[in-house]
């Protein structure tokens, strides 16, 4: 007979089917088991759609009575886009509920568990909790801070050059790395770059498959100086382009013109150096319900996020090539002196064809 951990692992696989589509909600998966056999499975397909347990209960029908319901996430107790899941579980006649992690929203944490127990349903929590929290790292960060989870995606050569791409062709990286980048973009709510990279490379920042969900494309352009003939302003996904400018540009003709062309412009505060204040940028992105942000460069952008300690994760892709002259160092940290007690936590390594991915978590937030 399968163990609870095995059923929770199946829940994780179900939850992943909603990756990139449920934000700002957490990913969730459900499995209903009776007499050791799986009766039904479900997952949260998209924001506003039924939650995982509702999908599984609907499939199970009357068979759910006296069963065990396995969940990645504590069932909700409040009315939102959908009715409370805890109420439906109580009505179904489920005998026991096994939950991996509690609701990441502090306002609702533990309420679903209490409600089920008050109605005589046995509840077990905490199985594969760390794995569940990693699965829902975006929702956890957003619910606790109201700003998105930030990942820096950096590609570096053996001579420490930043190899973003060459005229948009990514000639330095292998196909496996390109595919990995496409998958990352599909997972995150938005991709962010700086004005210089947008102007020089003229990227589209899309995922490979046009039928897949496309992320928002965000460009930091303090003074709204980008030319409007870039692909980000003219392609079929232009409604997904967001320009973040300094608050001094609000009400300007440039901003109004971009808005009329279908490009969203958001205004953020500036720092004493008259560039964008990244704290303000992240707060503005949180206000429009973006729970995850993939930062793709360039070097000044990377350096600013690192100096200000405003990132949660770093994906460092090492390309086994010497790029040579013409490409500067990956960072411009200047006289930066890192006095923090802890550095980055190494999480994993993965081979991407000829390239190597190193994943680190920031423990200093």
Tell whether the torsion through CA atoms of 230, 232, 238 and 242 is positive or negative: negative
Q: Which two tokens stand for residue 304?
A: 């600013």
Q: In a 3-state reduction of DSSP, which class is residue 247?
A: helix
Kindly report the number of other CB atoms within 10 A of residue 351's CB atom.
9
Residue 21 has φ and ψ, to the nearest 5°, of: -125, -10
Query: 154 exposed, middle or buried (CB, 10 Å; 0-12, 13-18, 19+)?
Result: buried
- Residue 73 CA to residue 40 CA, distance in Å, equals 17
54: Cα within 13 Å, side-chain hemisphere: 16
282 sits in which H/E element: helix 278-287
- Residue 44 CA to residue 50 CA, distance in Å, equals 6
Contact call for residues 13 and 70 (beta carbons, < 8 A): no
Contact call for residues 89 and 53 (beta carbons, < 8 A): yes
Q: Strand pairing of 190-194 and 216-220?
A: parallel
Q: In a 3-state reduction of DSSP, which class is residue 193?
A: strand
Annotated active-site positions, please? 53
């Amino acid at each position: 007979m399968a163990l609870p951990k095995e059923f929770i692992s199946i829940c994780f696989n179900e939850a992943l089917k909603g990756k990139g589509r449920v934000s700002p909600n957490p990913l969730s998966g459900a499995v209903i088991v009776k007499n050791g056999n799986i009766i039904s499975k479900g997952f949260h397909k998209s924001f506003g759609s039924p939650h995982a347990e509702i999908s599984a209960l609907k499939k199970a029908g009357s068979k759910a009575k006296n069963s065990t319901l396995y969940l990645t996430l504590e069932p909700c107790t409040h009315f939102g886009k959908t009715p409370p899941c805890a109420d439906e579980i109580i009505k179904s006649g489920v005998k026991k509920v096994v939950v991996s992690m509690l609701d990441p929203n502090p306002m609702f944490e533990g309420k679903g568990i209490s409600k089920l127990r008050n109605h005589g349903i046995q509840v077990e929590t905490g199985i594969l909790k760390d794995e569940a929290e990693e699965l829902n790292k975006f929702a956890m960060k957003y619910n606790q801070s109201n700003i998105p989870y930030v990942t820096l995606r950096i590609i570096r050569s053996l001579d420490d050059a930043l190899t973003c791409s060459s005229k948009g062709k990514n000639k330095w990286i292998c196909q496996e790395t390109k595919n990995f980048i496409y998958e990352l973009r599909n997972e995150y709510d938005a991709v962010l770059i700086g004005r210089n990279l947008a102007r020089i490379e003229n990227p589209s920042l899309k995922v490979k498959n046009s039928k897949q969900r496309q992320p928002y494309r965000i460009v930091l352009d303090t003074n709204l100086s980008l030319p409007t003939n870039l692909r980000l302003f003219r392609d079929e996904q232009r409604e997904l382009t967001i320009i973040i400018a300094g608050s001094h540009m609000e009400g300007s003709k440039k901003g109004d013109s971009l808005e009329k062309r279908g490009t969203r412009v958001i205004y953020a505060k500036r720092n004493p150096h008259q560039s964008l204040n990244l704290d303000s940028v992240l707060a503005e992105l949180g206000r429009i319900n973006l729970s995850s942000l993939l930062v793709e460069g360039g070097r000044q952008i990377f350096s600013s996020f690192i100096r200000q300690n405003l990132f949660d994760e770093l994906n460092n892709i090492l390309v086994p090539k010497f790029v040579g002259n013409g490409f500067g160092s990956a960072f411009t940290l200047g006289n930066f002196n890192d006095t923090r007690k802890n550095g980055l936590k190494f999480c994993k390594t993965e081979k991407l064809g000829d390239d190597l991915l190193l994943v680190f978590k920031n423990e200093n937030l």
